[in-house]
Amino acid sequence: MKKILITGGAGFIGSHVVRRFVKRYPDLNIFNLDALTYAGNLENIKDIENQPNYVFIKGDITDADFINSLFNEHKFEGVIHLAAESHVDRSITDPLAFVKTNVIGTMNLLNAFRDLWKDNYDGKRFYHVSTDEVYGTLGTEGLFTETTPYSPNSPYSASKAASDHFVRAYGETYGLPYVITNCSNNYGPNHFPEKLIPLFINNIINNKPLPVYGDGKYTRDWLYVEDHARAIDLVFHEGKNHETYNIGGFNEWQNIDLVKLLCTLMDVKLGRTEGESEKLITYVKDRPGHDLRYAIDASKINKELGWEPSVTFEQGLEKTIEWYLNNEEWLKNVTSGAYTEYYSKQYQ
């Protein structure tokens, strides 16, 4: 059976990708490599842990010797690389951790993959999952396309940009068969409650302040996580080598409008009177280097591979809120211990 390595499969997006591949491709042997940092959680993929075509390996991509021996042992023919430090606010506090995992970790995977297959890359693929944040920020007009120059503004996006450049460079220099996708903001089940949507859902449930950065007029393009996993599946199987594809939701929202919508939906779900949750909105100090607007032109993946989002924002938010309300235990587990410390430092 062909062995495929998925990194970061215990995290938010990775868990949806792993589940999709394990269920859809019984002829592929899916190896999920994850260090189980604060963001990784085996609960996210509990439902597939006993599937015959699935193996979990706890391990760190920054450990080159470990990565090399893993590749030598299993001879992975495909890699889908999602493991990363992923939160902008944490990258402002500890940029080096982002260089280690996002840049050096990616390099270790590239080196191991190259060393294994350099004599014959036929049928092999290295898929690097990246973000639209590498393009920097937009003004009020325009969209990011695949040819927009990179201009990252946060340590997170700079580390992702660096890793994208290395993947591309390995393609040019060593002929490594790669694809890269740059996706907009995801939301959905299993999203760690440090990012806007799950953090605010959790705070609304617990009647805690909703910390809106700055004036709240920052814009993001939101995509339901399973639609991202669908796109990854499609690009992995049908994308062209040495190509980049942008993935987006065609769904721009100013933060403050999104937060108000979330409050309205949650009032209904929690049986609160209209406007009650909105009272929790609290404007707080802005994030340094805060990108004003992200918006993706996803016409390339649409025209070449026929991908488009399948879930509307209303449907996606409904499913997401339902999931958090039905998974209180998950939420409680991930918000205990270290989370409390992070939260009070970040929002003191």
Of the chain, the end-to-end C-alpha distance in Å amounts to 51
Task: Write out the residues near ligand TYD by the rule CB under 6 A.
Answer: 88, 185, 195-196, 199, 211-213, 218, 220, 255, 287
- Assigned token pair, 340: 């409390």
Nearer to ligand NAD, 156 or 277 (CB): 156
d(CA 332, CA 326): 12
- The contact pattern for ligand NAD, residues 129-168, with x = CB under 6 A and - = no contact, is x-x----------------------------x--------
Stretch that binds ligand NAD, among 83-91, 286-294, 295-303, 316-324 (CB under 6 A): 83-91
- The correct pick among 23, 28, 57, 60 for binding ligand NAD (CB under 6 A) is 60
d(CA 117, CA 140): 45
Vertex 160, ends 148 and 128: CA angle to 5°? 90
Is there a contact between 52 and 265 (Cβ–Cβ < 8 Å)? no
Nearer to ligand TYD, 142 or 209 (CB): 209
- The correct pick among 22, 82, 107, 298 for binding ligand NAD (CB under 6 A) is 82
Nearer to ligand TYD, 100 or 287 (CB): 287
Among 34, 77, 132, 227, the active-site one is 132
d(CA 30, CA 12): 17
d(CA 298, CA 136): 17
212 touches, from ligand NAD, ligand TYD, none (C-beta below 5 to 8 Å by class): ligand TYD
133 belongs to the catalytic site: yes
φ/ψ region of 282 (left if φ > 0, alpha if ψ in -120 to 50, else beta) reads beta
- The contact pattern for ligand NAD, residues 204-223, with x = CB under 6 A and - = no contact, is --------------------
Counting beta carbons within 10 angstroms of the beta carbon of residue 63, is it exposed (0 to 12), middle (13 to 18) or buried (19 or more)? middle
132 belongs to the catalytic site: yes
Going through 24-103 in order, the beta strands assigned E by DSSP cover 28-34, 54-58, 78-81
**Residue in the block written with tokens 């440090």:** 194
Is there a contact between 109 and 59 (Cβ–Cβ < 8 Å)? no
189 touches, from ligand NAD, ligand TYD, none (C-beta below 5 to 8 Å by class): none
Residue 105 binds to ligand NAD (criterion: CB under 6 A): yes
Q: Which of residues 167-196 bind ligand NAD (CB under 6 A)?
A: 183, 185-186, 192
- Assigned token pair, 319: 């499913």
User: What pairing do the DSSP bridges indicate for beta strands 252-254 and 219-224?
Assistant: antiparallel
187 belongs to the catalytic site: no
Nearer to ligand TYD, 34 or 291 (CB): 291
Catalytic residue ranges: 132-133, 156
Which residues here bind ligand NAD, judged by CB under 6 A?
7-8, 10-14, 34-37, 39-40, 60-62, 82-86, 101, 105, 129, 131, 160, 183, 185-186, 192
